Amino acid sequence: MNNETRNISMPVAIKVLLGVLLVGIIGLLLWQAGRTNQNQQVQPTISATTSETNSQSTEQSAETISAKTGIVKGTAIYPSEGYPADFKVCVLNESTKAEIVCDSAMAGKTGMQTYEMTVTPGKYLVAAKTGDMTGYYDEYMKNESYKGSNATVCDAKYHRPIVIEVEAGNTLEGITAGDFYYEQENC
């Protein structure tokens, strides 16, 4: 009977050990994924989500957060059938052009895609990026000149990035990024 007890408890011990090992591996992977996401952002932004269980506290927190942030919304254009796998739209620091926050949800997709990013109040540029190419939000994109056959592709004044100003509690919509068309050496 002692042998039978050993045979039964050995598989149970192995199952418990494997379970603990599996949970540990999953925890490690989730921790590393969280660290990777944090390293991709140059400056953290305030998120409108909260883990509080009290719905009244959650509503007050969301109101406080939205009162301290603004939203930038729009579409991105890429001159191809689909978006490249590394495609992203970023809100950039106006003077340094450092990435503040990026949305890469449209990477690898086809068809018209939209983005929405929450940022603190300030002056920014918006750009679509892939590889070493950057396509800004500028007059060419704002006026939808890329849609016309007589577009002013070679007129440099239409291809200067537009500075947007985000105010707390407000949403800027219709910010189309992706002027990949202008290359001065081709004009």
Which pLDDT value is given to residue 65? Answer: 56
Which pLDDT value is given to residue 111? Answer: 85
| 8-state DSSP, 67 | H
Alpha-carbon gap, residue 184 to 163, rounded angstroms: 21
Which pLDDT value is given to residue 150? Answer: 56
Backbone region of residue 111 per phi and psi (left: phi > 0; alpha: psi in -120 to 50; beta: other values): left
**HSE of 48, CA atoms in CB hemisphere, 13 A:** 15
Asked if 136 and 177 count as a contact pair (C-beta separation under 8 A), the reply is: yes
Which pLDDT value is given to residue 3? Answer: 52
Alpha-carbon gap, residue 136 to 79, rounded angstroms: 13
Residues in the chain where the model's pLDDT stays below 70: 1-10, 17, 21-22, 24, 27-65, 149-152, 186-187
pLDDT digits (tens, 9 = 90+) for 51-91: 333 334 334 445 555 779 999 999 998 888 899 999 999 99
**HSE of 37, CA atoms in CB hemisphere, 13 A:** 9
Q: What pTM was computed for the model?
A: 0.63
Which pLDDT value is given to residue 56? Answer: 41
**How big is the chain by its Cα radius of gyration, in Å?**
24
Tokens, residue 98: 């450092």
Alpha-carbon gap, residue 66 to 60, rounded angstroms: 10
Which pLDDT value is given to residue 27? Answer: 66
Q: State how beta strands 164-166 and 122-130 pair.
A: antiparallel
Alpha-carbon gap, residue 122 to 124, rounded angstroms: 6
Which pLDDT value is given to residue 129? Answer: 96
Which pLDDT value is given to residue 12? Answer: 74
Question: What's the count of helices (H) and strands (E) in the chain, helices before strands?
Answer: 3, 8
The closest alpha carbon to 181, from 147, 88, 162, 126, belongs to 147
Which pLDDT value is given to residue 31? Answer: 61
- Which residue spans within the chain are E strands per DSSP? 70-76, 88-93, 99-103, 113-119, 122-130, 133-136, 164-166, 171-172
